[in-house]
Amino acid sequence: MPRVFVGVTCAIGLFALGLQARQGQPPVTFRSGVDLVDVDVSVLDRHRLPVRGLTRSDFSLFEDGEPRPIAAFTAVDLPPRVLPSAAWMADVAPDVLDNDVAREGRLVVILIDRNISFEQQPAAVRYAEAAVNQLRPGDLAAVAYSSFGIPQNFTADRQRLLAAIRQPSRGLPRGDAGSLAECMCGTCSLQTVGTIAEALLPVRQRRKVLFIIGNNLPGRSTGRCGGALAAERERAMRALEAANVTVYAFDPSGLETQAVTASASSMPTARPAVAAMVRRGNLSLLPDHTGGRLILDPVRAADRMAEVFRESDAYYVLGFQAGSPQMRSRFHDIRVKVARRDVSVQARRGYYADGAAPATKRRVPPPNDASTRLANAIAGLWPKTDVSLLMSAAPFATPDLQSAVLAIVVGVRGQAVRVSGTTMPTTADVLAGVFDRNGRELGSARQTIELTPHQPSDQPFDYETVSRIALKPGRYEVRTAVEDNRSDRAGSVYGYVDVPDFAREPVSLSGLIVEAGPAILEAPPILRDLVPGMPTARRVFARGERVSAFVRLYQGLSRAMIPGYLTAEIRDDQNQSVFHQESRILPEQFGAGRAMDFSLDVPTDRLPAGAYLLSIEARHGNETARRDARFSLK
């Protein structure tokens, strides 16, 4: 497998190993108590608009040609795309992530293929940006490349998605030039499609859409490449069918003509026209097979993308009992029919009885001596939700500025301690891991913490725990899992962090730490050398509650320290500035480590209930660094 392609595969595929369905294990169990296979279905009219208002009786479902009764039925209507009153509410992602993945929405994978010329790159970027701009509440998107480019795993963070699109080499480690890998016969494009579809296969009850942006997708050949392409084509199609992924292809070439230009030295022949027909036929292969379509309008990319998203604004989830579940490795064919005229149906075309293709069944060894349950909680494409979690991750420079320490704060919400009569302690195991763009673990931390609830012992309670991991500069995915040893339940939460190159960047900021409570608590021993107080992952506070924000400002080793300014601002949900503070920064304020601490008391007593954005920005000459945190008052 080519070197660069490994990164693409792992970003969306590695963490899918051991992936379970939303409630724990496939197939999905509906409330009827019967293990059912679920099929999500889009029904489109002649204008490709979703048909709403259908009932169970409008559908017929067949497994391996035999009719099956529909045992469960749900109509899903996604919320409309509404522009927020303040731009930051859409553009600035929360600095705290949760594992509430039960929200209904789409999974969108934007695959930027290798077959894009330099002249076509602006059009390809417009298509990809249009897809990000169309995301609705509950939607998650990922960016993948079939050769060159650093992928971005599923997230709702629009800025991270756009950065992965606009700066495909951002985050490459030192010494990695990101050179193109060998791709024999163009098979790496189909390999990427197959890997993405196999990773998405266990995820149920969400619309799954793959956007392929490229000017060709080799699928057939009569020469020496025929065998290799046929095998990868079959694998990709089978995986797309089983995972119920709808493919749309976007050609950045635009409309081609055979007109003679001023630079042409001779009259055109028919060969370019034939080549264009073959190329577009290749691009149409997967969309035609999955119910999608080919888009040839890069000039109006936003309009075309809006049309595509409208097609999945409403859909239906059907559940049926498998007829022969004992055949564990066999692929079962599914067909769905609708008792309506002039409609088209998009639905998965099959499933594996054990929930995944046999070739994708692999095991993840438990890292750092963690339990299997704890390790599996961070091994899936989807976080586990049996325990409700919040997580923030803030990087701090080491004293020599050459590397960093990542402070990870996890909040556990509403965990029940089922002990009768008296308050008794319990324990929880915590595993935090940091992964690079190839899905390779770069560091982990495991601990067992003792908990003594201060509330009646039969009631749920909240607590927070902290971990630290040493890192080099770069972009990472952070995953943390918590296993409650009394209830034998585990949950996990996923997020991302960018660690600045503190030594090389003229000005940089640590992560933003929020502290809250009736008094600023002493920092825990594990973080005592990094922060002055106890950080919290909470971002919802009561009016008048004591809340403070803390960052550390660094000036790198590349030049002499110079004066600058530090600005703190709070904006409300109408984008009005409700707090502004600016102070002068002088070189003598920095210590021996070229670092300076800044703390701000948030005026919660003077702000009404609502949503806010806190921004802290450092300016030194033409260099700036900024950190944002969203919070709410109630």
Query: What DSSP letter does each residue of 227-290 carry, written as one string?
Result: HHHHHHHHHHHHHHHHHTEEEEEE-TT-----PPPTT-SS---SHHHHHHHHHHHHHHHHHHHH
The one-character DSSP state at 578 is: E
pLDDT above 80 for 364 = no
Give me the pLDDT at residue 417, please: 52
pLDDT tens digits, one per residue of 168-203:
766 555 555 554 556 777 788 888 999 999 888 877
State mean pLDDT over 13-25: 32
CA 209 → CA 16, 95, 243, 291, 293, distances in Å? 17, 27, 10, 11, 12
Supply the pTM of this predicted model. Answer: 0.79
pLDDT above 80 for 204 = no
Instruction: Using DSSP, state whether 530 is helix, strand or coil.
Output: coil
User: What confidence category does residue 602 fall into, taking pLDDT thresholds of 50, 70 and 90?
Assistant: very high
State mean pLDDT over 337-356: 80
CATH of domain 1-40+105-171+182-257+276-305: 3.40.50.410
pLDDT above 90 coverage of the chain, percent: 43
Give me the pLDDT at residue 406, please: 96
**365-499: same fold as 1-40+105-171+182-257+276-305?**
no
State mean pLDDT over 213-237: 82
Report which listed range, 314-318, 351-355, 413-417, is most confident. Answer: 314-318
Q: State which CATH number among 2.60.40.1930, 3.40.462.10, 2.40.50.180, 1.20.1730.10 fits the domain covering 501-634.
A: 2.60.40.1930
pLDDT above 90 for 207 = no
Across the chain, what does the average pLDDT equal?
Answer: 82
pLDDT tens digits, one per residue of 446-489:
999 887 765 555 555 688 999 999 999 988 999 999 998 877 78
Domain over 365-499 is classified CATH 3.40.640.10? no
Domain ranges of the chain: 1-40+105-171+182-257+276-305, 365-499, 501-634
Output the 3-class SS for 12-59. HHHHHCCCCCCCCCCCCECCCCCECEEEEEEEECCCCCECCCCCHHHE
CA 218 → CA 183, 184, 222, 413, distances in Å? 12, 11, 12, 49
Name which of 34-48, 122-136, 346-360 the model is least confident about. Answer: 346-360
Give me the pLDDT at residue 253, please: 87
Give me the pLDDT at residue 256, please: 62
Instruction: Say how far apart CA 98 and CA 105 lie, in whole Å.
Output: 16
Instruction: Say how far apart CA 352 and CA 197 lie, in whole Å.
Output: 13
More confident residue, 401 or 325: 401
Instruction: Say how far apart CA 329 and CA 333 lie, in whole Å.
Output: 13
Inter-helix orientation angle 301-310/121-133, to 10°: 40
The three-point CA angle 89-406-413 to 5° equals 60
The one-character DSSP state at 481 is: E
Strand partners, 50: 44
Give me the pLDDT at residue 299, please: 87
